[in-house]
Chain A
Amino acid sequence: MSDLLLPLAIVVPILAATLPLLLGRRYDRIGWPIAAATAVSLVGIAAWIARTVFVVGAPTEYGIVHELGGWQRPYGIELVADELSAALVVLVALVAAGTLVLSRVIGPRGNAFYSGYLLLTGGLMGITLTGDLFNLFVFLEIVGLTTYALVAADRSGASAYASIKYLIVGTVGASLYLIGVGYTFLATGSLNMIDLQSAIAGVGYGDPLIRAGYAFIVVGLSLKIAVFPLHVWQPDAYQRAPDAVTAFIAALVSTSAAYALLRITYTVFTVEFLAANDAITNAMLLAAGVSILVGSALAAMQSDLKRLFAYSSVAQFGMIVAAIALANETALLGGIVHLLGHGLLKFGLFLAVALLAYGYGARRVADLASLARRAPYLSGAFVVLGLALVGIPPSVGLLGKWYIALGAVRAAGSGDPAGLGIAAVMLASTLFTLAYVARVIEQLYFAGADPGPGDAGSSASVADAPTQPNASTQSDAPAQPDGGHTGARDVPTGAFVVLVVVTLAAVGLGFAGFAAADLFEPFLGRMI
């Protein structure tokens, strides 16, 4: 019974994606209700999958397995949900629902947007659940196509240019991935992930076709993940996309590509392949290390808030790729925790940026000056999420980084000097992260004079009296009745509540270190 939920998690959003366009011919504002109903049912499906995997116990040793059309492994396509994919399915469902709350108020509106949104959700579900290499390519392209369309959804020329840049780079990435799959298929004659595991071992880990196949897959997925120097599309795409779209894709799209890399590395090629091919892991560690360092350094130089956090993603995904290449249990656990935690943190951060831009028109770091006075709760949540990204305890950001760094040091202890390099680079990156988060905090709380002396006379002194008590006594979410003359719009309550929940989760999950280790123990045991 529970294995039927896996195809449902993919089919429901993809079928629902046709409805907004279809019914939109008759009803104008039908998109949001359809998307909301789908998102709610997806949260239910995800919760049930997670319950089956984590609480009840999965029916097979690989997790929940569903053979599409009843075709047996290795001929048919399988959907598989183990601990890792179940956790990711939950993240996708929750972030998708959260995005919907945000997009209801700040847009983009229109039925076409909701069709794209549902298609993207279905594609992300597909990436996390599929057990077939070529099927993964198809879902990668579904996600890619809808992301290109959504990035360009705000109808400006700049976003169309950012989108086409992303389209060309992303398609090359997916095509390189396809070449890698082709090489692997040539060497083994199989596309099923579980079947490939033994088939690749049979061909031999030193086989040039297998090696080349893995190399192509890594480079192709690195383009999608946006690892330095293949990240150039990402800051533009994040900056130019509509705010709600940025929050959605920053949390999930690169995350799902990184998940695919993790899945293919450990389920298909296995840790023995990594151990037998030092050159490949060293190249991955080098790229990851440079990515961590350069991403953080570039982030510290940005003045646009969305670009700043986009570059920060380059660094964080560098850490995840490093965790994959380090190939020990602690680092891999860190990689998984950081994959999930970073998705959550980036969703919260871009949500806060979206609300700051919507309510107060703040798009650059300099625009934040003294905003904490007018929006104390929003700024507070923003700062807590920023500090969680730095890794101040207790936070989910610390947890992931801690395990990765610990794994890196352990790798160094067992004779892999690259581990020390990764640990050092992560420390440097944390300092950079602190630098740019501190800059945001400084602007929010300490920069800019108090309203009054700096500004031209009368309007400021009139504004002074009503603004101060309002900002300090009331929640800025529904309040700000003086929005008329401060130029600020009401921050939508629903989206603000989502932000608070994400912030609390980011802090609360920081205490869940041992629980996470327990939760993913069976998965790690199978992989390493």
Chain B
Amino acid sequence: MTDHLPIQLALDVLATRHAYAVFTVLLCIGLYMMIANPHLVKKIIGLNLFQTAIFLFFIASAYVHGGSIPIVESGGAPEATLVSPLPQVIVLTAIVVGVSLTAVGLALCVRIYTEYGTLRTDALREAMAEEDDLPAAGGDSPSAGGGSPSAGGGSPGGERA
């Protein structure tokens, strides 16, 4: 009877399934950081949290109470319950993928910082909007100066329209 009380149920889940609760919380924190934080490096940290949550999920799901490592001596039959090694292997691979993603992301951050001097997305968006205006305004005169009669005649008319 008491099992069905919501609070009891929640406590039960926390006591026995805390790894999955942490997985959910980490996932949400990571996702929130990626969406809400304007700083690119912090977005990448959020991404790492998000991935770490998934690693935790795989590891937690592979845990077997009283399980032993899946190595069977030649000739001997397995006695105890064995743990599936597959989730660990998956997590190892996923960690490698995650590290390379972080490396590429940080390399891109370095390039963006040297170009614009900021890593905040709001400032970047402004800087890029200005940059977009410049070639359009400045791009006209070189092409006309380069002696392109029909292109020079066509594009300004089109842009004013």
Contacts and interface: CB of A to CB of B under 8 A. Distances in A.
Real binding pair: yes
B101 A167 contact: yes
B61 to A, nearest CB: 5
A138 B116 CA distance: 33
Interface residues of A, number: 55
Given A134-B93, A175-B54, A370-B154, A161 B31 contact: no
Nearest to A155: B111
A367 B43 contact: no
A138 B154 contact: no
A401 interface: no
Given A171-B47, A172-B31, A487-B148, A141 B155 contact: no
Contact of B108 (A163, A366, A451): A163
Contacts of B132: 158
Interface string A469-491: 00000000000000001111000
A290 B105 CA distance: 31
What is the interface of chain B mostly: helix, strand, loop, or mixed?
helix
Contact of B143 (A152, A156, A361): A361
Interface string B112-150: 100110000000100010011000000000010011111
A522 interface: no
A448 B158 contact: yes
A168 B101 CA distance: 9
Contacts of B153: 448-449, 451, 454-455, 460
Given A141-B101, A455-B152, A448 B157 contact: yes
Interface in A1-41: none
A158 to B, nearest CB: 6
B104 A167 contact: yes
Contacts of B157: 369, 448-449, 454
Contact of A168 (B47, B100, B128, B158): B47
B14 to A, nearest CB: 20
Given A141-B101, A152-B111, A175-B50, A157 B116 contact: yes
Contacts of A365: 158
A374 interface: yes
Contacts of B43: 168
Contact of B154 (A186, A447, A486, A488): A447
B112 A164 contact: yes
B82 interface: no
A152 B111 CA distance: 10
B68 interface: no
Contacts of B149: 451, 455, 459-460, 463, 486
Contacts of A178: 54, 94
A360 B154 CA distance: 12
Interface string A139-172: 0010011001100100111101101100110011
Nearest to A170: B101
A306 interface: no
A148 B127 CA distance: 22
Contacts of A487: 143, 146-148, 151
A486 B150 contact: yes
B97 interface: yes
A361 B151 contact: yes
Nearest to A373: B150
Contacts of A454: 153, 157
Contacts of B159: 366
Interface in B43-98: 43-44, 47, 50-51, 54, 57-58, 61, 84, 86-87, 90, 93-94, 97
A253 B143 CA distance: 34
B109 interface: yes
A152 to B, nearest CB: 6
A134 B89 CA distance: 11
B5 interface: no
Contacts of A407: none
Given A178-B94, A179-B57, A448-B154, A157 B112 contact: yes
B72 to A, nearest CB: 15
A318 interface: no
Which among A155, A160, A186, A454 has the greatest number of chain B C-beta atoms within 10 A? A160
B158 A447 contact: yes
A238 B104 CA distance: 19
A459 B147 contact: yes
A18 to B, nearest CB: 15
A168 B44 contact: yes
A323 B102 CA distance: 35
Contacts of A134: 90, 93
Q: Which of A155, A158, A186, A485: most chain B Cβ within 10 A?
A: A158
Interface in A120-149: 134, 137-138, 141, 144-145, 148-149
Given A138-B97, A369-B158, A164 B109 contact: yes
Contacts of B108: 148, 152, 160, 163-164, 167
B19 interface: no
14 contacts: A152-B111, A158-B131, A160-B115, A168-B44, A168-B47, A168-B105, A171-B51, A185-B86, A185-B87, A373-B150, A448-B150, A463-B149, A486-B148, A486-B149
Kindly list the 4 A-B residue pairs having the minimum CB-CB distance in the complex, ordered from nearest: A366-B158, A157-B115, A487-B148, A369-B154
Interface of A: 134, 137-138, 141, 144-145, 148-149, 152, 155-158, 160-161, 163-164, 167-168, 171-172, 175, 178-179, 182, 185-186, 189, 191, 360-362, 364-367, 369-370, 373-374, 443, 447-449, 451, 454-455, 459-460, 463, 467, 485-488
